[in-house]
Copies of this chain bind each other. A is one copy, B any other.
Amino acid sequence: MNAEIVSIGTELLLGQIVDTNAAYIAERLAELGINLYHRTTVGDNKERLLQVLQRSLERADVVITTGGLGPTDDDLTREIIAEVMGVDLVKDEKLVKQIESFFEKLGREMTENNLTQAYLPVGAEPIINEEGTAAGIILEKDDKIIISMPGVPTEMKQMMRKEVIPYLKGQIGNKQLIKSKVLKVCGYGESSLETEIKDILDNQTNPTIALLASKAEVHLRITAKADVEKEASYLINQVEVELRERLQDNIFGVNEESMEEVVAKRLNKKGLQIAIAESCTGGLIGHRLTNIPGSSSYFERGVVSYSNQAKQELLQVSAQTLKEHGAVSRETAKEMAKGVKELAKTGLGISVTGIAGPGGGSEEKPIGLVYMGLAVGNKTQSFRFKFHGRRQQIKYLTSQYALDKLRRYLEGNLEL
């Protein structure tokens, strides 16, 4: 079964609104195993809306629209879907009552134009709107289906959950279902990862594997089609095992898991507390780790030692180290990590010091050069990175790779 999504509203074409509805509906369709090949956005214009809907109905079995169901003159969806399906509009008395009682509850007076929302194409089923006056529409005719919902996300989502998804399930009779799982990778670029696993990618038909470059990480989405959940899971698992053998601990998480979430889990599991000394990241690592609820259980304190004085006073970095090796050096990174760990009396201390740019770079120490320190017990280790990009990208990459090193250590894949 093929579907298309048509988002209706001039405000979308003016860029005043980001179309989150289309993404939400698309994701639900994927879960149902319904193919979506086209998404179209069109304004509040009779002729163009008619053309777009005609075209979509030629290509797809189901056309799902959002927007244009309001009470005002520029809301054309009701009228145009009736026209495109070749039926008339009739007043639905049940809807009239619902709209009237909605305004009663609100204690607001109903203006006449609200009753335009009580009209339905002949043969259509209304979709109840629990949060507004614009009912949705399901219209079947000649093996084609049009489903229309309001553009207000909360109203659309409630209709999807309660009526549209169950309806579509009935239509496809659960013929085939789609299941997918995302493996998140840190330490590869998109193209180097593709090269690394090209043979696996090339041999895939079901499940398929999609590479998706994201911020400082790459996602591998494994998508399987099967008749039953269990079979899909089995297919996905086979590929996952193969990918994990190849990529080992470069895979840091699955599905929605973020890097900071994974690190938080590992710290909690080991009952470890951490202290962080940041220079070039300015607090970003602490910020990311405290985005996770309950972070006080593992995060004791952070020091943003932006000045050399702060490095010396709070972290006991020696003046000699700063003089001989500079603030951006293995030696300083190590002393910072050790210093913050001892200051906070935690089991773990990490540090980063680097040059985020645009200023401060040199031949010997270019922009993007970053050192990380990791202190555990009486051991201290340092790591060197060379990142590329603008100031904020370098800051983010630094936080990502520092958290990733920490993760690898906590997972027992990094010897100090």
> Hey, which bits of chain A sit against chain B, CB under 8 A?
7, 10-20, 22-30, 36-43, 45, 48, 52, 70-72, 74, 102, 105-109, 111, 113-114, 131, 152, 154, 189-192, 194-195, 210-213, 221, 276, 278, 280-287, 289-291, 293-296, 299-307, 309-310, 314, 344, 356-359, 368, 386, 388-393, 395
Cβ B41 vs Cβ A38 within 8 A: yes
Cβ B71 vs Cβ A191 within 8 A: yes
A282 and B293 contact, Cβ closer than 8 Å, known pairs A37-B43, A314-B301, A393-B131: no
| A107 to B293 alpha-carbon distance, docked (Å) | 37
Please state the number of chain copies in the assembly: 2
Residues of B within 8 A of A286 (CB): 278, 282-283, 304, 306
Determine which of B11, B40, B45, B111 lies in contact with A212 in the assembled complex, contact meaning CB atoms within 8 Å. Answer: B11
Please report whether the interface of chain A is mostly helix, strand, loop or mixed according to DSSP.
mixed
A16 and B212 contact, Cβ closer than 8 Å, known pairs A283-B285, A302-B306: yes
A283 and B304 contact, Cβ closer than 8 Å, known pairs A26-B15, A40-B40, A71-B191: yes
Cβ A189 vs Cβ B359 within 8 A: no
| A281 to B286 alpha-carbon distance, docked (Å) | 9
In chain B, what residue has the closest Cβ to A293? B358
Residues of B within 8 A of A307 (CB): 296, 300-301
In chain B, what residue has the closest Cβ to A194? B72
Cβ A14 vs Cβ B40 within 8 A: no
| A10 to B30 alpha-carbon distance, docked (Å) | 11
19 A-B pairs within 8 Å (CB atoms) are namely: A11-B210, A11-B212, A15-B26, A15-B30, A16-B23, A18-B23, A37-B42, A40-B40, A72-B190, A108-B192, A111-B195, A154-B393, A283-B286, A293-B357, A296-B307, A299-B306, A300-B310, A301-B307, A310-B344
